[in-house]
């Protein structure tokens, strides 16, 4: 019962803040609502017994990515005060397409049978994730570290001023 109340609270906050992210005119307010949305998604992970993912979500998304986005907003917009047109002329088409996609997904979900497990609650998720990352998924793990390094170097090279 308690779990349901918390779930609906988080779900409501996620949907409202996501709608604010895609519809507000001030881009800085959009970024703040994005932070709220990501934080509530971390709450959903806690409800799903994925506490490690929740911590990673808060560290990486709420801590790093949103700071990066706010930095980019500060560096790019003198537009912050001036309310330029924020959406293109595809608003109705976009709303129609995403509604069609939403109903398509929900229709497919209601007509699919997922074989539930009855093995009870997961235990020691951090331990198991660490073991999997070091055994089964060690090659993707190393590849992802190389990818992060490449993205870091690439971002510096792209955003660097010429000749400095």
Partner 1 sequence: MQLMHYLTLAAILFSIGFYGLITRRNAIAILMSLELMFNAVNINLVAFNRFVTPTEFIGQVFAIFVIVVAAAEATVGLAIVILVYRNWRSIDADRVNLMKW
Question: What's the closest the beta carbon of residue 34 comes to partner 1, in angstroms?
Answer: 5
Question: In terms of C-beta density within 10 A (0-12 exposed, 13-18 middle, 19 or more buried), how is residue 73 classed?
Answer: middle
Question: In terms of C-beta density within 10 A (0-12 exposed, 13-18 middle, 19 or more buried), how is residue 20 classed?
Answer: middle
Question: What's the closest the beta carbon of residue 81 comes to partner 1, in angstroms?
Answer: 14
Chain positions 85 to 124 lying near partner 1, rule: CB under 8 A, are 85-88, 90-91, 93-95, 97-99, 101-102, 105-106, 109-110, 114-117, 119-122
| Residue number, 4 or 81, with CB nearest to partner 1 | 4
Question: What's the closest the beta carbon of residue 64 comes to partner 1, in angstroms?
Answer: 6
In the block, which residue shows the tokens 């609906």? 8
Chain positions 27 to 56 lying near partner 1, rule: CB under 8 A, are 27, 30-31, 34, 37-38, 41, 44-45, 47-50, 52-53, 56
Chain positions 57 to 76 lying near partner 1, rule: CB under 8 A, are 57, 60-61, 64-65, 68-69, 71-73, 75-76
Residue pair 69/31 in contact by the 8 Å Cβ criterion:
yes
Nearest Cα residue to 159 out of 75, 77, 61? 75
In the shown chain, the binding pattern of residues 139 to 158 toward partner 1, with x for contact by CB under 8 A and - for none, equals -x---x--xx-xxx-xxx-x
Size of residue set near partner 1 by CB under 8 A: 84
The two tokens of residue 86 are 């924020």
Task: Pick from 9, 80, 133, 138 the residue near partner 1 by CB under 8 A.
Answer: 133
Query: How many Å is the maximal CA-CA distance in the chain?
Result: 62
Crossing angle of the two packed helices 27-47 and 66-76, in degrees rounded to 10: 180
């Amino acid at each position: 019962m308690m779990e349901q109340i918390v779930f609906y609270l988080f779900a409501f906050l996620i949907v409202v803040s996501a709608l604010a992210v895609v519809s507000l005119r001030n881009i800085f307010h959009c970024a703040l609502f994005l932070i709220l949305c990501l934080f509530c998604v971390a709450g959903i992970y806690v409800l799903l017994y994925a506490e490690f993912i929740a911590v990673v979500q808060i560290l990486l998304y709420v801590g790093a990515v949103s700071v990066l986005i706010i930095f980019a907003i500060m560096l790019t917009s003198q537009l912050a005060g001036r309310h330029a047109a924020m959406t293109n002329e595809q608003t109705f088409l976009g709303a129609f397409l995403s509604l069609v996609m939403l109903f398509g997904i929900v229709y497919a979900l209601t007509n699919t049978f997922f074989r539930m497990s009855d093995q009870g609650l997961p235990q020691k998720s951090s331990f198991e994730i660490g073991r999997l990352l070091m055994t089964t998924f060690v090659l993707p793990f190393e590849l992802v570290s190389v990818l992060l390094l490449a993205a870091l170097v690439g971002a510096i090279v792209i955003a660097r001023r010429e000749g400095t």
